[in-house]
Structure 1
């Protein structure tokens, strides 16, 4: 291999690796510095599409990844935290936020990259404070970004003299669709739009590519970055799939519109370059930023239409578990502690209904081994965790007021019930993980073992349902039935353990299958314990 070609490849590939590492470290450092509040930003500031755009910009600037923001958004839609229309606004904002990296690259401080890396390492290795470490990680990533960019740029210098590359750039100038395709494919490969832009900035600064050939690559870069969201939506809810495909449509429409006005847009960028004396890197950054901002402005009024189109493309009824509480209005805390406690109880009942729905989905996952049941169970478990946190915070706020003796007893009973229901979610999550383990390791349960598990599942689900009903209606008779059923669950667990030992001794059941079986019935028995705890709150008449 010719030494120059080898050097070109090594410097480019090594520089790309360091550049990607720099972006990753900088994004992670910024995220840690800002605190793990990104989900809250997206959740709270998306009440309308315009705020959604702003939230998308902010979060993308913080994590330095439009793909990361879009994946997070798909996750929130999947969980029921966000509607499709809200998600579209965030996705538009993410496209604007990702341009910040290009502007950072446009700042000509490459010669200081090594001292910046050294400063970052100093903060990382000589301080124990986590916040200082997060700042150090950010600084290290910042320096690595420029160092990697410098290596890439050095590796790309010889490209100017390569006839084949020169012909390719001429073809891209005369055929913009080729440039879009190259930008799309390269971004798909490296999974980073920022890397594609960085390479483009390096090529343009070295004079290896003209602006007219570079601009379509920018458009393709935006299309390529959508693949991460598509991957994240696989197996997700219909709403999450729609959010991911909206990202694709949004960028495809933007690229198409700007290809039509490519000459006009190129003249605009050249005007900016001459007017503000921009360096080559900053020229590409302004082109990228202008494209994404203009694309958002053009398509923003058509958010409803985008939502309609993607609904037609991906039909189906969307089943979403709502994570957000429905009854916890803070105004009741100020008006009346009794009313506020009643609101908390209403939310706990809703949480209890989720708990037996999650158990039902877990039981279906055991019998069918279909991933949709596992995913729904895990969604419900996530909802239980979120409701637990919200209800607990609400109850703590109530306790700060003056409560009567009866109200104080009810408050304690509600706190205990929330904890029990949340623990039911933890146990069926454990069972889902055990079934995952069974499937991935191809462990076969005997027909007798499956029949025992189904019987115990049916009894446990019925017990939890009756516990929630007793809690809702303050029905002592239902609560007493729950106590009796929990005793049956305990006996069933002991009986099935003995049957399991017999199957093992007879060689009908493998050791690994036995572990899965015993752990599942153990978790179901624990769920029965939590159900009886809820029933006992009814029997104690604190509620």
Structure 2
């Protein structure tokens, strides 16, 4: 019975620790998401700078996994070069060792009950009674209290554990077994910090020796590579390259650390760090520092090597222009018109997937010729569709450039310009929706009634807008009238103004925080711009059709 109590106390403490880490990560990323993001993007121009930025950001966010996923996102979006991304990833490995230093310094030296309960109490009051940044600060304080409480539970359970079985049996375990335990456990809980805490607790309780704990630390470092690998599985080639670099860095660094395990521990003792807990975290820091020193001069060469990996075959999205050459201008112009219709249809279909829940496709036909079946797999994300449509835009523009090298009649040149304007407007409409994805995701996670109401109104507006677009074309196939487009445009602007007023009413009633106002206004503006751009694209397309038939 006693052993069961200790086991559940340990598991409960571990669960509380992981839960607290999750809360801290969310609260810190909410408090400074834009600041951290801008910091990473702006301060990663040089290899050394990117390593320092990665280490500092990870130390502040207390999550190398989160920083790794941010780097994947920035790399996939083209905001960070592969060279700079590698530096941040290497630095994040060093930054995550800060958790061990904090826990070794505070967690095993102070009365954690006396420290954790006041933090939980103070933080909880802030969470319940405050809003905005103060609420998030309260969440950080309460989470730190929960983290320390979980650590205390683990310490207490481990301190009694050595009385329940013969700890000498652990001496038969090899270093490789402890390494594998650390790797598997870190991969399962997705936290090298939690694995390090277990190693520190076991070391402090006399359950395992320092070399065994050091092997667990090496395994923990290796196990967390699973997070970034999973995050890059279905990503762009650059995302996969960043993940591969993370794996290469960790495997090489951890292999060196394992081979030099005893010499490194002896070196740490030689320089005067004799406390086992400090020796363990110093070992964790030291072998990551060795890895950075080893890889830093090779970042450019490693990036060039990685660029030879995960090379995708050229993707062709077009349906019509790929089947002909621009030599016959009449046929080429018809192909561009059809491809323009194809692109507009893609934009409308993918924009529907940019909202949660997805905007339902209304009954009826689009006011376009040569309509295609744009139904997509439910699992295909908006971002994936957006990048595919960007490829289609590039194909059309390249083909149009080749066509313009030929002699065109005045009417043909005018028609081509209208079609290219339609393409630009359609892509603007898509980019507007892409730019508010993070805001919509934040709204979806909010529990505030005003924000949930706003989100529902947005979805209703978009459903009404798409219904109006799909009813513009009559069954006889007559072209849409300019007056009808103007009516839809006026209705769209009216709804925008209504939402604008309602947002400020909610602000006046203190239903939303000041920090949320700008996001709501931005979403309202971008949706207006997107819908108006769709209308302009349709107008351009039908103007081109009018020129052709004139």
Task: Summarize the alignment of residues 72-471 of structure 1 with structure 2, pairs less than 5 Å apart.
Answer: 72-106=70-104, 107=106, 108-109=109-110, 110-111=112-113, 112-126=115-129, 128-161=130-163, 163=165, 166-168=168-170, 170-172=171-173, 175-272=174-271, 275-276=272-273, 278=275, 280-312=276-308, 314-316=310-312, 359=347, 362=350, 366=374, 369=377, 375-379=383-387, 422-425=428-431
Quote the Cα distance in structure 2 between the aligned partners of 1:114 and 1:290: 34
CA distance in 1, matches of 2:160, 2:479: 78
The whole-number CA distance in structure 1 between the counterparts of 2:150 and 2:535 is 57
Change (3 A) 1:360 1:489: farther
TM-score by length of 2: 0.61
Residues 54 and 89 in structure 2, CA contact (< 8 A), matched pair in contact too: yes
User: Per-residue deviation at 1:117?
Assistant: 1.7
Verify the 8 A CA contact 2:428 2:530 in the aligned structure 1: no
- Please name the residue that 1:71 is paired with: 69
CA deviation profile, 1:193-227 (whole Å, cap 9, x unmatched): 11000111101111111111111111110111111
Q: 1:524 to 1:62 in 2, by over 3 A?
A: closer
In 1, Cα distance between the equivalents of 2:295 and 2:28? 30
Give structure 2 stretches of 5+ with no counterpart. Answer: 316-339, 351-370, 392-422, 441-465, 489-528, 544-550
The 2-side partners of 1:486 and 1:208 are apart by: 78
Structure 1 residue matching 2:234: 3-state secondary structure: coil
Bigger Cα displacement from structure 2, 156-165 vs 36-45: 156-165
Shift of 1:162: 5.1
Distance apart, 1:96 and its partner CA: 1.1
Secondary structure, aligned partner of 1:236: coil
| RMSD across aligned positions (CA) | 4.2
Q: Residue 536 of structure 2 aligns with which residue?
A: 530
CA separation of 1:428 and 1:228: change in aligned 2, threshold 3 A = closer
Q: Which runs of 5+ in 1 are unaligned?
A: 320-351, 384-416, 434-452, 461-483, 495-522, 538-543
Change (3 A) 1:155 1:86: same
Quick one: distance in 1 between partners of 2:32 and 2:66? Answer: 16
CA distance change for structure 1 residues 525 and 420 in 2, over 3 Å: closer, same or farther? closer
Offset of residue 31 of structure 1: 2.9
CA deviation profile, 1:363-411 (whole Å, cap 9, x unmatched): 999356496785432458999xxxxxxxxxxxxxxxxxxxxxxxxxxxx
Counterparts of 2:218 and 2:135, CA distance in 1: 36
User: For residues 45 and 534 of structure 1, do their structure 2 counterparts lie closer, same or farther at Cα, with a shift above 3 Å needed?
Assistant: farther
Q: Show the 5 A alignment for 1:37-52.
A: 37-52=35-50
> Do the aligned partners of residues 61 and 378 (structure 1) sit closer, same or farther apart at CA in structure 2, a change above 3 Å counting?
farther
Tell me if the contact between 1:378 and 1:429 (Cα under 8 Å) persists in the aligned partners.
Answer: no
Shift, 1:284, TM fit: 2.3
